Amino acid sequence: MFYPHEITLPKKVVVGLNVLENVGEYIKAIDIGIGKAIIVSGSSNTRVYAKLVSDHLQHSHTETWVLSANFSTMNEVEKVVNVAREVNADVVIGVGGGKAIDVAKYSSYVLSKPFVSIPTSPSHDGIASPFASIKDVGRATSVKASTPVLVIADVAVMVKAPRRNIASGCGDLLGKFSAVLDWRLAHKLRGEYYGDYAASLALLSAQHIVKFSSMFKARQVPVEAVRILVEALISSGIAMAIAGSTRPASGSEHLIAHAIDLVASYPALHGEEVGIGTIIALYLHGRNWRKIRNILSEVGAPTRISQINVSKEQMIKALTIAHSIRPERYTILGEKGFSEEAAERVIEILELI
C-alpha cells in the first residue's frame, strides 16, 4: 500500500569551522527576507553565541530581539510567539542546545515563519528534524514543528561543548539501531507505514558512530570527530523529515528515556538516557546489545543507571510504565510492558547496576 506524506527539507545546511560569522550571508542566500529576527538562546554560554549572531545580523541591517528559553515548555513558546507577533518578526532563529532549538522550532511553526537552526552542542538529533520535544504538564511530548530552512553548524563552536554533551549525541544516534527495529516490527504487526530509505539513513547515522567510535576516546575530542557526529545528527533529523514522523529515530529506547525522566525528574542528558534504553531495547530484540554497550563505554557515555543518577527502584518503575508513554506507538515493549519482576531481571542480566 502507498502511504502519501509530504517531505519538507532544509534549503541549505552549512557545516564547517567559523561559519557563524557569515550567518547574515547564508540567510540572504536562501532568500527568505529577514528585516526582523527573533533569536532564541538557552543558558548563559549559548547567550554569548546568540549575541554574536545578533551582532552579525545587525551588520546586515537586520533588527534582532534575543530571548532566553531555559525550559522547553509551552510557556516559553508563548513568550517567543508573543514577542514575535508584537514586532512582526520575519524569522525565528534558535541558537543553543536542545531547549533553545525546540522552543524556537515550535514557535516558528505556530507563527508560520521560517526557522533557522544554529546548534551550539552536538548532544541531540533535533538539529534538523521537524519535531520538537516540548515538556508540558510533566511530560516530554514530541510535536510537529518547523523543518529548518537553514542549518548552520559551526564545528569550532560545537567542539567546545562539554565532553558529556558529545557523548550524549553519540548515545542518541546509537538509539537508531533499536528505533528502526521497532519501526519494522510495527510495520509487520500493525501495518504501519515503513520507509526503507528513511530507515537506512537513520541507521547510517548510527553506524557512523560505531565506525569512528575510537575517535571519541580522547578527553579533548578532535574537531574531525565532532564534525562526523554533527553530520550524523543532521542526517538523523533529515531521516525524520523524509519519514514524516520520528519513527526512524525514536522507538522503545526513547520511551524508556522518557519514562526515566518522569520517575526521576530528568536526571541526565537525553542522549545518556537513550543509550541506556538502547541496551535494553536491543536485548529485547535479541540483538548484540553487548557491542553497543561497549561502544557507549568507548565514547564516554553511561552504561549503568548509577551514572545517570537513577536508582534500581526508579529504573524498575520506569520500565513498567515505558510502554504507556506513547500508547499509539507500537514497539518491542508491547501493549503491557514489563512486570516489576521482569524489569528487575533485565536490569540484572544487562548489568545496569
The predicted-structure confidence for 10-26, as pLDDT tens digits, reads as follows 999 999 999 999 999 99
Average pLDDT over residues 283-301: 98
pLDDT at 139 over 80: no
Place 275 in a pLDDT band, splitting at 50, 70 and 90.
very high
Q: What is the pLDDT of residues 231-267, one digit of tens each?
A: 999 999 999 999 999 999 999 999 999 999 999 999 9
H-helix segments, 73-162: 74-87, 98-111, 155-158
Span(s) in the chain for CATH 3.40.50.1970: 12-158
> Of 8-12, 31-35, 169-173, 227-231, which gets the smallest average pLDDT?
31-35
Average pLDDT over residues 105-130: 95
What's the rounded Cα separation, in Å, for the pair 133 and 46? Answer: 19
What's the rounded Cα separation, in Å, for the pair 206 and 290? Answer: 16
pLDDT at 9 over 90: yes
Fold of domain 163-349? Dehydroquinate synthase-like, alpha domain (1.20.1090)
Average pLDDT over residues 133-151: 80
> What is the pLDDT, as a whole number, of residue 218?
85
Span(s) in the chain for CATH 1.20.1090.10: 163-349
> What is the pLDDT, as a whole number, of residue 138?
47
Average pLDDT over residues 123-149: 83
Note every long-range contact of 54-60, with CB atoms under 8 Å and residues 24 or more positions apart, other chains counting. Answer: 56/20, 56/21, 56/22, 56/23, 56/24, 57/23, 57/24, 57/27, 59/24, 60/24, 60/25, 60/27, 60/28, 60/34
Residues, the chain? 353
Mean pLDDT computed over every residue of the chain: 93
Does domain 12-158 sit in CATH 3.40.50.1970?
yes
